[in-house]
Amino acid sequence: MAAPASTTAPATKVIREVFALGRSPFKTFDPFLFCMYHNDTYPASTKDTLGPDPKLLRSRDIGSDFSYEGGWSMYHGTTVPGFPAHPHRGFETITVTRTGLVDHSDSVKCTARYGEGDTQWLTAGGGIQHAEMFPLLHPDRPNTLQLFQVWLNLPRKSKMCTPYFSMFWKEETPMAELPTLPLRAGAATPAEKAMSKVIAGELEGVTPLPPPPDSWAAAPDSDVAVWTVDIPANAAVTLPAARGGASSTRAVYFVKGGQLEIGGGEAVVAPMNGARVAAEVPLVLGAVDEPAEVLVLQGRPIGEPVVKHGPFVMNTREEIMQCFADYRRTEFGGWPWESGDHAHPRDMPRHAVHMGGRKEFPPNKAEESAKQQPPPQPKKPQE
């Protein structure tokens, strides 16, 4: 495989390791804890629900369906796919959507419908319950869902901070145009542009939206970056060296395309492979034959002990045990919605209701008329 035109791999070995990705959580590196990729091609919904025909569920382990049978899973959902109410403490979730929608509800009375390029950034802090359901809005055609959920650790000083809910609408999320070169010497420069969604970490002079106030990403020297990178077929791009240099970690996750050339020729990998790479040198990525979709996670390690148990991430085993005790006692504020798998009506537009009841809609004129609908209100289950 020829190296990208006018691009030379640095003398320093760029690739530290290559690893396979699957439907289980991806390998991640401090300050990241977890990365899950959902790529589900759901069937049409029934006319009366936001879920698939019950006939399609008979062979599945409903309540814990990770089978990917037919190209999709119900996960912990019973009617609507997704993840009904569950607790978290000690870290943040960053849900980066590509296609499809997510219905969010939580124990601090925030709620949202988001997707199709939106990002939700949730600081669990001292404790929150949330539900993430995947509504199938279309009864007349398949419903595709593609998203990443990333867990970013919190430092010890912030693990018990107040929960924080934020939405980065696709219309407001900065995009960086990356200079492209032909992958093969002598070929024409690709007409299409390589684009990166800048969720965290400056790229090509593009500044991201502010992260939550207690996030590790809010620390000036954290060097946290979360970028999706879309590379045209037979094009190469160069990502700059991390500002933190060798003290930062950097990983790339290749989820869709033909093949990806990493490090100016050090490796060529198929989709659903990742690599830990040197952060102190520029990184060359090339899309072989087909457009490539890549996620990049980068950051300076927090460097503190990590003790994980299910939905809780703390620094000691004793703190984990306290998580369970606190959750049994308080339920992290309780669950204010009618059901643990709360989903919005089919015709509800993308929206968010923040702490204190502040309503927010994306700046999309096509959805203006739908803004007149009252947002959902939390309700206690009937006694």
86 labeled part of a ligand binding site: yes
Whether the CA torsion 195, 199, 201, 202 is positive or negative: it is positive
Contact 43, 53 (CB under 8 A): yes
- Identity of the residue numbered 313: V
130 labeled part of a ligand binding site: yes
Beta-carbon contacts of 295 under 8 Å, excluding residues fewer than 6 positions away, are 35, 37, 96, 148, 226, 227, 228, 229, 252, 253, 255
88 labeled part of a ligand binding site: yes
User: What residues does 113 pair with on adjacent strands?
Assistant: 103, 351
Matching residue, tokens 């934020």: 166
Contact 91, 130 (CB under 8 A): no
Contact 111, 89 (CB under 8 A): no
* DSSP code per residue over 117-137: T-EEEEE-TT-EEEEEE----
For the record, the structure tokens of 163 come out as 């929960």
User: Within 10 Å of residue 330's Cβ, how many Cβ atoms?
Assistant: 11
For the record, the structure tokens of 249 come out as 């970690």
309 labeled part of a ligand binding site: no
Beta-carbon contacts of 24 under 8 Å, excluding residues fewer than 6 positions away, are none
Nearest by Cα to 127 from 280, 322, 307: 322
User: Within 10 Å of residue 231's Cβ, how many Cβ atoms?
Assistant: 30
Contact 276, 328 (CB under 8 A): no
Residue 11, SS3?
coil
Detail the residues annotated as belonging to a binding site. 86, 88, 130, 132
Q: Which residues are annotated as a binding site for Fe cation?
A: 86, 88, 130, 132
